[in-house]
Structure 1
Amino acid sequence: MGETKVIKTACRNCHGGCGALVTVEDGVVTKIVPDKESPISKGRMCPKGLAGIELLYHPDRLKYPMKRVGKRGEGKWERVTWDEAYDIIVENIKNIENKYGIESLAIAQGTGRHHLNYVVRFANTLGTPNWFEPGTAQCFFPRVSTGEITYGYLPVVDYYSEVNPGCILVWGANPEVSGADCESQFRFKDAVIKGSKLIVVDPRRTKTAEKADLWLQIRPGTDDALALGMMNVIINEELYDKEFVTKWCYGFEELRQRVQDYPVSKVSEITWIPEEKIIEAARLFATTKPSALEWGCAVEHTPNCFQTVRAMALIPAITGNIDIKGGFIEGMHLLPPPDVNLSHLSQEQRLKRMGEKHYKLLAGAHRDFPAAHIPTVFEAMRTGKPYPVRGLMLCGNNGLIGFADSRRTYETLMGLDFISSQELFMTPTSQLADVVLPVASWLELDAIYSGPTMGDHIALAQKKIVRTYECKADEEIFIDICKRLGRDYGANTVEEIHDSQLAAVRARYPEYADLDINKFKELSYIEVPIEYKQYEKNNRGFNTPTGKVELFSTILKGLGHDPLPYYEEPPESPYSTPELAKEYPLILNTGGRSPFYFLSENRQMKSLRKHSPFPLVEIHPETALRYGINDGDWVYIESPRGRITQKAKLTAGIDPRSVNCEIGWWYPEKKDRTDFGVWESNANILTSMEPPFDPQAGTYQLRALLCKIYKNHQQTDVDFNPGF
């Protein structure tokens, strides 16, 4: 009889950490089930996590290092050893550093998985200030930065106390289908079952909107106007929390004056939402205690995203829902991340960070994640100004799909001297690299984590169950490269990094005074009580210059920006570009989430792909009739930047003046093509990386663009048959 064991661990197939019980028989993973004892997910996992075995043993996984032997993008590869791969990478890093300076090497990653902090630490160790990922200006970090300048921290919904949120304002998110971190999706569902009232702001009638007490079908790109209009109602009807505002808010009178510019009639005209619904939503949120804001990345995809998110963040503040049970709470940072700030770099190097001069809050108000500005980096790659960027190291970054304006991204990457890619699978972007390195999946990693959607009062340990082929963890790769370069990564092993993180827990909580990494793995989770109203303790106040919630931001004023939120029409819209709208009459919305895919991931997975085999564009039946389109037809979606094709899904849950297309699409099954069909259905072919950019965060426009649609008479399902 062989050995069978069940290992308690956590899934990190997204940003979250749902508990998992993994059965291993004779060294082979045979079963994954949810862990009912997990304080995070309480016996639930999503389809992506449950497909972990398929991911682990997928035949298309990258199995060993490879080097390019043909022309860039030609798809000709040769297997090499890890030593040979490291030699190529180290030689190219030295060449770039000696010829141009280390700042001419950029480092990019994809979403913020376990490797996020390690990538930034690697960049800092090398000495380059040019680290970036799509999320720094487009997803999550604008919320982090606005939270910091307003509250001193990123606020999150309290799903953890015995007090259920009385009202949840879901804005630009669809947690019934896919949480920002999957465990928050489950917590949200629990709250609704327990009776939370639900206000949903979304251009689409999503699964979450279907459960709403009130659905506000907003025109894409006008969220800033709606937030200001809701505050107009709350303030003018004196529904705000006078005690909290008086004692703990700064700049209320200035905010009161600002919202007078946004009467409900004007906001209704801008947003396409009926006046009575705006008033009803404002009253429901303001008169229900506790209330909280569940905000998603959809509001971070326009060039006024910073002030948009700022306006949204002020609604819980003026209604007194800050840091109370069931409200909008402060994370505790139970498990601090590894050191990722710019302190390792000289002041001279810090000032070389692309975007440092123009986008002061791109790095976060507390300089949490000092990212470079992606359009500025790409411009330097093309033009050599303000200085050349000639190399790019990619970590889990499928940039031809993840970055805006995919064709220009492709042209930019093709002109570089060196590209390396660390990936699970060969992707369209990896095909452009000089060296490709195989990395570990979540079942092959030792990791520890504490995240904001957990209220940061829970930390988890993830265990390496098995290792397949020659894959390595990203952080192991970084340590190895730094050793070969003679650079001090700050640790010789991953365990040393973990122990440095646990030191903060040992120091703060006596019950964990003897906690080391081995004991943490045995426990799988540690949990401490949430501390509410921390601002009241020892007259601490809020971590802002005034010690209060800054409705009027002194930080923004000091940087020369408007200290109060305001509305700005999207730069490409029926109103700002009416001539363009004559040719492209529909508003293009992108980015809706899927329960089966994470951005461009998982389309190789048969168990997931069978539920969503083709990319879908949502079209209102009236619009479809006008263009001669039937449900299930293949349709062209065209913007001023390019054209793609997706399959029509007719729905009355979208405004007839707009369409919504899915993101992240490529076709891994098209193995006879080195681009894997990236030019066929990829929504970022339609988007723009051109100015204007958000003046605080550098964000560019990914939604609320203009497009036209027409029937694709050539395409059929057979042409896109995934074989599933």
Structure 2
Amino acid sequence: MNISRRNFIKAGATGTAALGLSGSLFSKNWFQTAAAKEESKEKLAFTYHTTNCGGRCAFQCTVREGKLVKIVPNNWTDKRFSTVCLKGLSELERIYSPDRLQTPLKRVGERGEGKFVPISWDEALTTIANKLKELKSKHGGDSILFSCSSTVEYGYPFLPSLLGAQFAIESGIDIGLANGLEECIGGQAYGYVQNETSDWVNSRTIIYLGCNILETTLTDSKFFFKAKDAGAKIIVIDPTYTTTASKANQWIGIKPGTDAALLLGMISLILENNWYQQDYLVQNTSAPFLVREDNQQLLKVNDAAEGGEKNPYLVWDTNSGSARPFNAAGVKAQLEGKFTVNGIKVKTVFTSLKENQKQYTVKWASEKTEIPEEIIYGLTSDYATRGPAVLGWGFGGGDKWANSDVTGHAGAILGALTGNIGRVGGSVGNALYHGTSWSAKLGTWELPEQFKATPLQMTTQDFREKPNNVKAVINIGNTLQQHFANLSKTIDWIHTLDFVVTIDPFHNPSVNFSDIVLPASTSFESEYEIKNMQVNRSHVLLSQKVIEPFHKSKSDFQIEKELAAKLGLDQYLPKTPEEYQRARLNSDDPALKGITIEALIKNNGIMRLNVPDEPYRGFMDQKYDTPSTKLELYHEKMAEDHQALPTFDEPGEASSENSLSKKYPLQFSQAHTKYRVHSQFTNAKWINQIDQGPKLEINPKDAKSRGIQNGEIVEVFNDRGSFKAHCKLTEALRPGQIRLYEGWWTKHMVGGNLQNVTNDQFNPRQYKLRYGPVIPYNDTLVEVKKI
């Protein structure tokens, strides 16, 4: 039954039953409009949204007789952030959802059956504590893995250290493009753009590469349109005609999995037309560094040691006509050339780049990407010659391919060639979630020296088949469905574990594989007046208690505290969330000066950092977080993989050159949507009135050749498994491509789970990179048939 917001508000004690909701969920008339005499019972509370959509919308919440009845935007110092989207508004219904876990549960059936009996908190926590003690005693702390969803703000910061356990958060996810970019610029966490999105008004060209920002970061849409109004030419490159593409100046369709080919073709055009910034390359990048022709390593003062400022790389100094350290006084580095140094033949990185790029002509790029040559030429000219430019990508598209590191590397080189890194109006990287802004270094809560978490031994997906010591998983969120591809392999692994716990507010798919289930309260609920705090969008945000924990749920803080007590370790934890947040604010960072818990409460939970008013812009000093402090274009550790400079690599699976494509000719993507954040809000019934269930999108040409009509049930399958869903015919997708929005729970599908078919094969070379291998969810071949 559809539940409209109007009917839901009108529903009283009898109305909830009529709507098919459990009567025990609601106190009588909890949502009725209050009469004037009751208005004095209202209170306001201030919090923010903790989902990882990046919006971090701050809320003013109206509470009436202990129930949340209204959510509106809180007032930021920067009024542009005073927003809320449909996901935030839907929390009114979701908090009181029938999918809420109401009490701790114990499994009584087989794992995966979803058969449980209710138990007390004392029994649940005692069972967990005893099992963790046993496992640590027998196998060591590293036999316990905490697997946490990124939406859980209070991510159990103490128990992994107290137990010596391993901790993972989205291991192998959203890091494919960052792997290529960050090897060049140094660490910046998930490869976000260097400049804040509010700087886009200073850009002349903005390219969104597989980045559907108007769906996935709705609250940043104003910056998109302000940039467009200011004269920026906005170009969207995407296989699909997305919402963002519909509002751009130009949409360029591209063959899925060929993003790197396009960027390599653009590099060649920039080199051929001398559109590059020579002075920038000499002064700020490793382009003049010398590469040995015998072993493809960079020439250093001491070749037996790691390179860096203390053991500098060598350049060819035009003043002395010799090889000298790049950072020596008076050195004038030569950008191009081949030389002999102590009998060793060398050439500059820039010369190596030019040679490597000869194979990547515009004609080649056009054939690979199926983009006409003249379009690639115009795109490149716009990017390189119109002024400050942004090359921004997303997480849900080109990132989730086996060859995504090449794309990230090529993107960094494009930014370096055109001087668009460390420049007003420039940037390269992930453009979603307002991930770049002014920040501050928070303090910490110190644990005694003897307590240390075990560093994560491998990407979590590898725990399923590589030798390891993990016997128990504490699953916080829905990671068992959402953080692994190829679900059947995940299920096989789960069955080998000694113990599985899930902690979440909702009965998500991971719950069914658990031995003990703990009902966490939502981000609006707490036993304490102060809940959490974070630095976001150049502000400090404080989360206050809005309502008491619903049913028998407990906050994540309280769960960790009580479980630590069962383990005899609670004396090391803060007594309250407020004590923890005060410790975090105890920092000597000048950006936090004057920001206290009391001041935050007085300001309704929002205070701007003591930072400049203008947008944050990274690397304006041209000092990078790399061994040389330069923007490093050449990755010598990748030389044996032929990726010291970006070299095109076919997709791992979804390529026409793969013989498997004859059996499974369709490429399957999981796309992000404004209606959910990964698998969150899948059960939001107000939203589901608009987004009514999983729809497998397919081009009419592919549907016709398979005898499929719009709305029919189809099966998507490959050698890994299958799932069933209703289909939707759309011209927005290219022939040969199908799509299903990510995150749907198993119970919402006609049959199976979308992760039954997804590709889980890692690219071996990526183990050398900063974040390890990316899970190539979209690099997946399937076939579709009508049921």
Q: In the alignment, does 2:634 pair up with 1:552?
A: yes
1:500 matched to 2:579: no
Q: Distance in 2 between matches of 1:337 and 1:687?
A: 40
Q: Superposed, which structure 2 residues align to 1:611-626 within 5 Å?
A: 611-626=690-705
Q: 1:147 to 1:472 in 2, by over 3 A?
A: farther
Give yes or no for contact 2:486–2:756 (8 Å, CA) kept in 1.
yes
Q: How far apart, CA to CA, are the structure 2 residues paired with 1:423 and 1:354? A: 25
d(CA) in 2 for partners of 1:647, 1:205: 21
Q: CA deviation at 1:482?
A: 3.0
Counterpart Cα distance in 2 of 1:407 and 1:162: 44
Find the aligned partners of 2:96 and 2:711 in 1 and give their Cα distance: 33
Contact in 1 for aligned 2:176/2:405 (Cα 8 Å): no
Matched pairs, number: 661
* Offset, 1:69: 3.3
Q: Provide the rounded CA distance (Å) in 1 between the counterparts of 2:446 and 2:670.
A: 29
Aligned to 2:162: 125
1:450 alignment partner in structure 2: 535
TM-score by length of 1: 0.84
Q: Tell me, what secondary structure is at the counterpart of 1:106?
A: strand
Name which of 461, 465, 473 aligns with 1:375. 461
**Pairing of 1:207-286 with structure 2 (within 5 A):** 207-251=243-287, 253=350, 254-286=352-384
Aligned to 2:709: 630
Cα distance in 1 between the residues matched to 2:687 and 2:72: 17
The one of 495, 499, 507 equivalent to 1:426 is: 507
How far off is 1:323 after superposition? 3.2
The residue type paired with residue 498 of structure 1 is Q
Match of 1:662 among 722, 738, 741: 741
SS of equivalent to 1:250: coil
The correspondence for 2:59, drawn from 6, 10, 20, is: 20
User: By how many angstroms is 1:249 displaced?
Assistant: 1.3
Give the percent of matched residue pairs that are identical in Structure 1 and Structure 2: 27
Written as runs of structure 1 = structure 2, the 5 A alignment for 1:239-638 is 239-251=275-287, 253=350, 254-297=352-395, 298-328=397-427, 331-336=437-442, 349-350=454-455, 353-355=456-458, 373-380=459-466, 385=467, 387-444=468-525, 446-451=531-536, 454=537, 457-467=538-548, 468-487=550-569, 491-504=574-587, 507-509=589-591, 512-523=592-603, 524-527=605-608, 528-529=611-612, 535=619, 541-553=623-635, 562-578=643-659, 580-588=660-668, 590-638=669-717
Q: Secondary structure at the match of 1:647?
A: strand
Once the two structures are TM-superposed, the CA of residue 426 in structure 1 deviates from its matched residue by 1.0
Question: Quick one: structure 1 residues 69 and 628, their matched pair in 2 at CA, closer, same or farther if it must change by over 3 Å?
Answer: closer
Quick check: 186-195 or 289-298, which moved more? Answer: 186-195
Distance 2:525 2:230 in 1: 37
CA distance in 1, matches of 2:243, 2:446: 37
Q: What runs of 5+ residues in structure 1 fail to find an aligned partner?
A: 356-372, 668-675, 713-724
- 1:70-85 to structure 2, matched below 5 A, reads 70-85=109-124
Q: Is the 8 A contact 1:8 1:20 kept in 2?
A: yes
2: CA distance, partners of 1:278 / 1:550? 26
User: Can you list the C-alpha shifts for 1:335-370, whole angstroms capped at 9, x where unaligned?
Assistant: 5485899x98779x54xx433xxxxxxxxxxxxxxx
Aligned to 1:183: 219
Q: Which moved more, 1:259-268 or 1:390-399?
A: 259-268
Residue type at the aligned position of 2:210: G
In the TM superposition, what is the alpha-carbon distance from 1:61 to its structure 2 partner? Answer: 1.0
Q: Which stretch of structure 1 is more off in the superposition, 519-528 or 51-60?
A: 519-528
Distance (Å, rounded) in 2 between the aligned partners of 1:406 and 1:641: 9
Q: 1:686 to 1:424 in 2, by over 3 A?
A: same
SS of 1:429's partner is: helix
Query: Any conservation in 1 of the 2:682–2:743 contact (CA below 8 Å)?
Result: no
What aligned pairs does 1:35-46 form with structure 2 within 5 A after superposition?
35=74, 37=76, 39=78, 42-46=81-85
Specify whether residues 305 and 73 from structure 1 end up closer, same or farther in structure 2 by C-alpha distance, changes over 3 A only. Answer: same
**Alpha-carbon distance in structure 2 between the residues aligned to 1:122 and 1:396:** 16
- Aligned AA (2:361): P
CA distance in 1 between counterparts of 2:437 and 2:626 reads 16
State the partner residue of 1:649: 728
Q: Is the 8 A contact 1:108 1:397 kept in 2?
A: no
Structure 2 counterpart of 1:226, which letter? L
- Displacement of 1:631 after TM fit? 2.0
Contact 2:694 2:749 in 1 (8 A): no
Aligned to 2:293: none
Alignment of 1:88 with 2:127, yes or no, is yes
Q: Report how far residue 494 of structure 1 moved.
A: 2.5
**1:178/1:185 contact within 8 Å kept:** no
SS of structure 1 residue aligned to 2:743: coil
The structure having more radius of gyration, on CA atoms, is: 2
Q: 1: distance between equivalents of 2:509 and 2:711?
A: 27
CA contact 2:693–2:748 (8 Å) conserved in 1: no
Change (3 A) 1:12 1:40: farther
> Contact between 1:172 and 1:299, CA under 8 Å: does it hold in 2?
yes
Change (3 A) 1:410 1:486: same
Q: Within the alignment, does 1:690 sit opposite 2:761 as a pair?
A: yes
Q: Conserved in 2, the CA contact under 8 Å of 1:18 and 1:45?
A: yes
Which residue, 156, 165, 174 being the options, matches 1:139? 174
